[in-house]
Amino acid sequence: MLAKEDIFNLSGPTHFQVVDWKNKDHRRSIAASLVQGVYILEQDRQQNRQGPQAFAPVWWDFFDFLLSDVLVDNVDNSVFGAIFEPKFPASYCDGSKTKTPKYTRFEIAMKYVKEMVDFAGAENIWLAGHSLGSAMALLAGKNMIKVGYNLETYLFNPPFLSIPIERIKDQKVKDTLRIANSIVKAGLVAATKAYNSKPREDDSFAMLSAWFPNLFVNPNDPICAEYIGYFEHRKKMQEIGAENVEMIATTNSFRNLFKNALGMDLEEALHLIPSSHLTTIQGQSPNFRRAHGIQQWLNPDIQCQHKSYQFK
Protein backbone atom coordinates (compact mmCIF):
# COMPACT_ATOMS: atom_id res chain seq x y z
CA MET A 1 0.00 0.00 0.00
CA LEU A 2 1.25 3.48 -0.80
CA ALA A 3 1.79 5.83 2.11
CA LYS A 4 -0.04 9.15 1.99
CA GLU A 5 3.14 11.04 1.21
CA ASP A 6 3.83 8.68 -1.70
CA ILE A 7 0.56 9.56 -3.43
CA PHE A 8 1.88 13.13 -3.55
CA ASN A 9 -1.24 14.73 -5.00
CA LEU A 10 -4.65 13.11 -5.23
CA SER A 11 -6.07 16.05 -7.14
CA GLY A 12 -4.39 14.93 -10.36
CA PRO A 13 -1.69 16.38 -12.65
CA THR A 14 -2.16 19.99 -11.55
CA HIS A 15 1.40 20.79 -12.64
CA PHE A 16 0.12 21.03 -16.25
CA GLN A 17 -1.42 24.09 -17.82
CA VAL A 18 -0.97 23.24 -21.50
CA VAL A 19 0.01 19.82 -22.87
CA ASP A 20 2.56 19.75 -25.69
CA TRP A 21 2.75 16.21 -27.06
CA LYS A 22 5.87 17.08 -29.06
CA ASN A 23 7.75 18.04 -25.88
CA LYS A 24 9.75 15.07 -24.54
CA ASP A 25 9.47 16.33 -20.94
CA HIS A 26 5.71 16.57 -21.29
CA ARG A 27 5.51 13.03 -22.68
CA ARG A 28 7.63 11.82 -19.76
CA SER A 29 5.32 13.56 -17.30
CA ILE A 30 2.21 12.20 -19.03
CA ALA A 31 3.55 8.64 -18.89
CA ALA A 32 4.43 9.09 -15.20
CA SER A 33 0.98 10.54 -14.49
CA LEU A 34 -0.74 7.54 -16.05
CA VAL A 35 1.46 5.17 -14.05
CA GLN A 36 0.50 7.16 -10.96
CA GLY A 37 -3.13 6.71 -11.96
CA VAL A 38 -2.69 2.92 -11.93
CA TYR A 39 -1.21 3.08 -8.42
CA ILE A 40 -4.16 5.16 -7.20
CA LEU A 41 -6.60 2.87 -9.02
CA GLU A 42 -5.39 0.07 -6.76
CA GLN A 43 -5.76 2.39 -3.75
CA ASP A 44 -9.35 3.12 -4.80
CA ARG A 45 -10.03 -0.61 -4.97
CA GLN A 46 -8.61 -1.19 -1.50
CA GLN A 47 -10.60 1.69 -0.02
CA ASN A 48 -13.74 0.83 -2.02
CA ARG A 49 -13.82 4.29 -3.57
CA GLN A 50 -16.11 4.23 -6.59
CA GLY A 51 -17.81 6.69 -8.91
CA PRO A 52 -17.32 10.35 -7.89
CA GLN A 53 -15.45 9.24 -4.75
CA ALA A 54 -12.64 7.61 -6.78
CA PHE A 55 -9.35 9.54 -6.97
CA ALA A 56 -7.74 7.72 -9.92
CA PRO A 57 -9.76 8.89 -12.98
CA VAL A 58 -8.48 12.46 -12.95
CA TRP A 59 -4.99 11.16 -13.77
CA TRP A 60 -6.11 9.99 -17.22
CA ASP A 61 -9.17 12.20 -17.77
CA PHE A 62 -6.94 15.28 -17.68
CA PHE A 63 -5.11 14.05 -20.81
CA ASP A 64 -8.35 12.96 -22.54
CA PHE A 65 -7.76 9.24 -22.13
CA LEU A 66 -10.32 6.54 -21.44
CA LEU A 67 -9.61 3.60 -19.15
CA SER A 68 -10.11 0.80 -21.68
CA ASP A 69 -9.22 -2.18 -19.51
CA VAL A 70 -7.87 -3.01 -16.06
CA LEU A 71 -5.39 -5.84 -15.49
CA VAL A 72 -6.19 -7.72 -12.28
CA ASP A 73 -4.13 -10.32 -10.43
CA ASN A 74 -5.91 -13.68 -10.34
CA VAL A 75 -4.71 -14.45 -6.81
CA ASP A 76 -5.44 -11.33 -4.74
CA ASN A 77 -7.54 -9.27 -7.21
CA SER A 78 -5.08 -6.38 -7.02
CA VAL A 79 -4.74 -4.00 -9.96
CA PHE A 80 -1.31 -4.37 -11.61
CA GLY A 81 -1.81 -2.61 -14.91
CA ALA A 82 -4.16 -0.77 -17.23
CA ILE A 83 -4.87 0.02 -20.86
CA PHE A 84 -5.68 3.60 -21.86
CA GLU A 85 -6.94 4.90 -25.19
CA PRO A 86 -7.70 8.48 -26.32
CA LYS A 87 -11.22 9.83 -26.17
CA PHE A 88 -10.86 11.41 -29.60
CA PRO A 89 -9.74 9.98 -32.96
CA ALA A 90 -6.20 10.68 -34.13
CA SER A 91 -7.51 13.16 -36.71
CA TYR A 92 -8.92 15.32 -33.90
CA CYS A 93 -5.47 16.18 -32.55
CA ASP A 94 -3.37 15.21 -35.57
CA GLY A 95 -1.79 12.32 -33.70
CA SER A 96 0.75 11.66 -36.47
CA LYS A 97 2.35 15.02 -35.73
CA THR A 98 1.76 15.38 -31.98
CA LYS A 99 2.97 11.87 -31.07
CA THR A 100 -0.24 11.12 -29.19
CA PRO A 101 -0.44 7.36 -28.60
CA LYS A 102 -3.61 5.52 -29.54
CA TYR A 103 -3.06 3.04 -26.73
CA THR A 104 -0.92 3.29 -23.57
CA ARG A 105 -0.07 0.35 -21.29
CA PHE A 106 1.53 0.02 -17.86
CA GLU A 107 3.07 -2.81 -15.84
CA ILE A 108 1.70 -5.36 -18.24
CA ALA A 109 1.98 -9.01 -19.09
CA MET A 110 3.65 -9.89 -22.37
CA LYS A 111 0.58 -11.45 -23.96
CA TYR A 112 -1.41 -8.24 -23.56
CA VAL A 113 1.33 -6.26 -25.28
CA LYS A 114 1.33 -8.58 -28.27
CA GLU A 115 -2.45 -8.50 -28.49
CA MET A 116 -2.52 -4.70 -28.49
CA VAL A 117 0.31 -4.42 -31.04
CA ASP A 118 -1.54 -6.83 -33.33
CA PHE A 119 -4.72 -4.81 -32.88
CA ALA A 120 -3.53 -1.18 -32.94
CA GLY A 121 -0.06 -1.29 -34.50
CA ALA A 122 3.32 -0.75 -32.82
CA GLU A 123 3.46 2.94 -33.76
CA ASN A 124 0.32 3.56 -31.66
CA ILE A 125 1.52 1.92 -28.43
CA TRP A 126 3.37 3.26 -25.43
CA LEU A 127 4.96 0.92 -22.91
CA ALA A 128 5.57 2.32 -19.44
CA GLY A 129 6.23 1.12 -15.94
CA HIS A 130 7.79 2.06 -12.62
CA SER A 131 10.20 0.00 -10.52
CA LEU A 132 9.29 -3.69 -11.00
CA GLY A 133 6.67 -2.57 -13.49
CA SER A 134 9.43 -1.02 -15.58
CA ALA A 135 11.28 -4.35 -15.53
CA MET A 136 8.16 -5.96 -17.01
CA ALA A 137 7.85 -3.21 -19.61
CA LEU A 138 11.56 -3.59 -20.43
CA LEU A 139 11.16 -7.30 -21.03
CA ALA A 140 8.08 -6.69 -23.19
CA GLY A 141 9.92 -4.07 -25.24
CA LYS A 142 12.88 -6.39 -25.75
CA ASN A 143 10.67 -9.22 -26.93
CA MET A 144 8.77 -7.00 -29.34
CA ILE A 145 11.86 -5.43 -30.99
CA LYS A 146 13.19 -8.94 -31.62
CA VAL A 147 10.19 -9.63 -33.83
CA GLY A 148 10.38 -6.26 -35.55
CA TYR A 149 8.15 -4.01 -33.42
CA ASN A 150 9.82 -0.89 -32.01
CA LEU A 151 7.63 0.42 -29.18
CA GLU A 152 7.99 3.84 -27.56
CA THR A 153 8.94 2.94 -23.99
CA TYR A 154 9.13 4.83 -20.67
CA LEU A 155 10.97 3.12 -17.82
CA PHE A 156 10.91 4.91 -14.47
CA ASN A 157 13.50 3.80 -11.88
CA PRO A 158 14.17 0.45 -13.64
CA PRO A 159 16.08 -2.07 -11.48
CA PHE A 160 19.71 -2.75 -12.40
CA LEU A 161 20.80 -6.08 -10.94
CA SER A 162 24.39 -5.39 -9.98
CA ILE A 163 26.62 -4.12 -7.20
CA PRO A 164 25.72 -0.39 -6.90
CA ILE A 165 29.13 0.98 -7.87
CA GLU A 166 27.52 4.29 -8.87
CA ARG A 167 26.92 5.05 -5.19
CA ILE A 168 30.67 5.27 -4.56
CA LYS A 169 31.70 8.92 -4.30
CA ASP A 170 35.30 8.61 -5.54
CA GLN A 171 35.23 8.64 -9.36
CA LYS A 172 38.67 7.02 -9.69
CA VAL A 173 37.58 4.11 -7.51
CA LYS A 174 34.43 3.68 -9.57
CA ASP A 175 36.37 3.71 -12.84
CA THR A 176 38.90 1.20 -11.51
CA LEU A 177 36.19 -1.19 -10.32
CA ARG A 178 34.33 -1.03 -13.61
CA ILE A 179 37.45 -1.56 -15.72
CA ALA A 180 38.38 -4.54 -13.55
CA ASN A 181 34.85 -5.86 -13.92
CA SER A 182 35.06 -5.64 -17.72
CA ILE A 183 38.47 -7.31 -17.86
CA VAL A 184 37.30 -10.18 -15.63
CA LYS A 185 34.19 -10.71 -17.77
CA ALA A 186 36.20 -10.71 -20.98
CA GLY A 187 38.66 -13.15 -19.43
CA LEU A 188 35.87 -15.49 -18.34
CA VAL A 189 34.43 -15.46 -21.85
CA ALA A 190 37.82 -16.45 -23.26
CA ALA A 191 38.43 -19.08 -20.58
CA THR A 192 35.09 -20.80 -20.96
CA LYS A 193 35.00 -20.31 -24.73
CA ALA A 194 31.42 -19.08 -24.33
CA TYR A 195 31.26 -17.81 -27.87
CA ASN A 196 31.81 -21.28 -29.29
CA SER A 197 29.93 -23.55 -26.89
CA LYS A 198 26.70 -21.60 -26.43
CA PRO A 199 24.56 -19.16 -28.43
CA ARG A 200 26.18 -15.75 -28.32
CA GLU A 201 24.50 -13.14 -26.17
CA ASP A 202 25.94 -10.34 -28.28
CA ASP A 203 23.92 -11.51 -31.30
CA SER A 204 20.73 -10.81 -29.39
CA PHE A 205 22.25 -7.63 -27.98
CA ALA A 206 22.99 -6.24 -31.44
CA MET A 207 19.45 -7.06 -32.52
CA LEU A 208 18.15 -4.74 -29.80
CA SER A 209 20.41 -1.80 -30.68
CA ALA A 210 17.82 0.05 -32.79
CA TRP A 211 15.46 0.27 -29.81
CA PHE A 212 15.95 3.36 -27.61
CA PRO A 213 13.84 3.00 -24.46
CA ASN A 214 13.52 6.14 -22.35
CA LEU A 215 15.14 5.46 -18.97
CA PHE A 216 14.46 7.79 -16.03
CA VAL A 217 17.00 7.41 -13.26
CA ASN A 218 17.72 9.11 -9.94
CA PRO A 219 21.43 8.95 -8.94
CA ASN A 220 20.32 8.69 -5.29
CA ASP A 221 18.30 5.55 -5.95
CA PRO A 222 20.51 2.45 -5.50
CA ILE A 223 18.01 0.30 -7.38
CA CYS A 224 18.43 2.08 -10.71
CA ALA A 225 21.49 4.36 -10.36
CA GLU A 226 23.90 1.84 -11.87
CA TYR A 227 22.43 2.49 -15.31
CA ILE A 228 24.32 5.80 -15.26
CA GLY A 229 27.68 4.13 -14.80
CA TYR A 230 26.78 1.27 -17.12
CA PHE A 231 26.39 3.56 -20.13
CA GLU A 232 29.13 6.04 -19.20
CA HIS A 233 31.64 3.23 -18.69
CA ARG A 234 31.05 1.96 -22.21
CA LYS A 235 31.83 5.43 -23.50
CA LYS A 236 35.03 5.67 -21.44
CA MET A 237 36.26 2.25 -22.54
CA GLN A 238 35.90 3.38 -26.14
CA GLU A 239 37.86 6.55 -25.38
CA ILE A 240 40.82 4.60 -23.95
CA GLY A 241 40.86 2.17 -26.87
CA ALA A 242 39.39 -0.79 -24.97
CA GLU A 243 36.12 -0.99 -26.85
CA ASN A 244 36.74 -4.63 -27.87
CA VAL A 245 37.02 -5.65 -24.22
CA GLU A 246 33.90 -3.72 -23.33
CA MET A 247 32.03 -5.12 -26.33
CA ILE A 248 32.40 -8.56 -24.76
CA ALA A 249 31.78 -7.40 -21.19
CA THR A 250 28.66 -5.34 -21.84
CA THR A 251 26.89 -8.18 -23.64
CA ASN A 252 27.52 -10.78 -20.94
CA SER A 253 26.37 -11.11 -17.35
CA PHE A 254 28.41 -12.91 -14.67
CA ARG A 255 25.40 -15.16 -14.08
CA ASN A 256 25.43 -16.44 -17.65
CA LEU A 257 29.19 -16.78 -17.74
CA PHE A 258 29.14 -19.06 -14.71
CA LYS A 259 26.15 -21.00 -16.06
CA ASN A 260 27.97 -21.48 -19.33
CA ALA A 261 31.02 -22.80 -17.48
CA LEU A 262 28.77 -25.34 -15.77
CA GLY A 263 27.18 -26.38 -19.05
CA MET A 264 23.79 -24.92 -18.11
CA ASP A 265 21.36 -23.15 -20.43
CA LEU A 266 21.87 -19.41 -20.72
CA GLU A 267 19.28 -16.78 -19.86
CA GLU A 268 19.18 -13.29 -21.29
CA ALA A 269 20.18 -10.68 -18.70
CA LEU A 270 17.03 -8.58 -18.36
CA HIS A 271 18.69 -5.33 -17.26
CA LEU A 272 21.36 -5.20 -19.99
CA ILE A 273 20.31 -3.06 -22.96
CA PRO A 274 22.41 -1.74 -25.85
CA SER A 275 20.88 1.71 -26.46
CA SER A 276 18.81 4.24 -24.55
CA HIS A 277 17.72 7.81 -24.05
CA LEU A 278 18.82 8.27 -20.43
CA THR A 279 17.30 11.02 -18.29
CA THR A 280 18.92 11.69 -14.93
CA ILE A 281 17.19 13.88 -12.37
CA GLN A 282 19.36 16.59 -10.80
CA GLY A 283 19.71 17.40 -7.10
CA GLN A 284 19.50 15.42 -3.89
CA SER A 285 16.56 13.38 -2.63
CA PRO A 286 15.77 13.49 1.12
CA ASN A 287 15.28 9.73 1.40
CA PHE A 288 15.09 6.49 -0.56
CA ARG A 289 11.31 6.65 -0.85
CA ARG A 290 11.49 9.94 -2.70
CA ALA A 291 14.47 8.87 -4.80
CA HIS A 292 12.67 5.74 -5.99
CA GLY A 293 9.13 7.13 -6.20
CA ILE A 294 7.12 7.86 -9.35
CA GLN A 295 6.10 11.30 -8.02
CA GLN A 296 9.45 12.92 -8.86
CA TRP A 297 8.77 12.42 -12.59
CA LEU A 298 5.34 14.04 -12.67
CA ASN A 299 6.45 17.65 -13.09
CA PRO A 300 7.49 18.42 -16.69
CA ASP A 301 9.70 21.29 -15.50
CA ILE A 302 12.06 19.40 -13.18
CA GLN A 303 15.80 19.81 -13.77
CA CYS A 304 17.15 16.81 -15.66
CA GLN A 305 20.13 15.81 -17.76
CA HIS A 306 19.45 13.99 -21.03
CA LYS A 307 21.93 11.73 -22.85
CA SER A 308 21.55 9.20 -25.63
CA TYR A 309 23.66 6.06 -25.97
CA GLN A 310 23.82 3.74 -28.96
CA PHE A 311 25.47 0.36 -29.17
CA LYS A 312 27.71 0.00 -32.22
- DSSP labels, 52-116: GG-SSTHHHHTTTEEEEEEEE-TTT--EEEEEEEESS-HHHHTHHHHT--SEEEES--HHHHHHH
Let me know: does 81 contact 109? Beta carbons within 8 Å: yes
For residue 40, pLDDT over 70 is answered with yes
User: Rounded to an integer, what distance in angstroms lies between the CA atom of residue 81 and that of residue 59?
Assistant: 14
pTM for this entry: 0.82
Per-residue pLDDT tens for 153-186? Answer: 999 999 997 777 887 888 889 888 888 888 887 7
User: Rounded to an integer, what distance in angstroms lies between the CA atom of residue 29 and that of residue 45?
Assistant: 24
Other residues' Cβ atoms within 10 Å of the Cβ of residue 189: 22
Lowest mean pLDDT among 3-17, 36-50, 246-260: 3-17
User: What's the average model confidence in pLDDT over 278-300?
Assistant: 93
User: Rounded to an integer, what distance in angstroms lies between the CA atom of residue 236 and that of residue 73?
Assistant: 44
User: Rounded to an integer, what distance in angstroms lies between the CA atom of residue 130 and that of residue 81?
Assistant: 11
Per-residue pLDDT tens for 88-132? Answer: 755 445 444 456 777 675 555 688 889 989 999 999 999 999 998
Q: How, if at all, do strands 103-106 and 79-86 pair?
A: antiparallel
Let me know: does 60 contact 37? Beta carbons within 8 Å: yes
The secondary element (H helix, E strand) that includes residue 268 is none
The secondary element (H helix, E strand) that includes residue 129 is strand 125-130
134 falls in which pLDDT band (50, 70, 90)? very high
Q: What is the pLDDT of residue 260?
A: 64
Higher pLDDT among residues 280 and 93, named by residue: 280
Q: What is the pLDDT of residue 124?
A: 92
Q: What is the pLDDT of residue 2?
A: 37
Let me know: does 218 contact 296? Beta carbons within 8 Å: yes
Q: What is the pLDDT of residue 263?
A: 64
Per-residue pLDDT tens for 257-270? Answer: 666 666 666 566 67
Let me know: does 215 contact 281? Beta carbons within 8 Å: no
User: What's the average model confidence in pLDDT over 56-77?
Assistant: 91
Higher pLDDT among residues 234 and 149, named by residue: 149
Closest CA to 216 of 295, 98, 109: 295
Q: What is the pLDDT of residue 4?
A: 37
Per-residue pLDDT tens for 189-228? Answer: 776 664 544 445 556 778 899 999 999 999 999 999 999 9
User: Rounded to an integer, what distance in angstroms lies between the CA atom of residue 73 and that of residue 70?
Assistant: 10
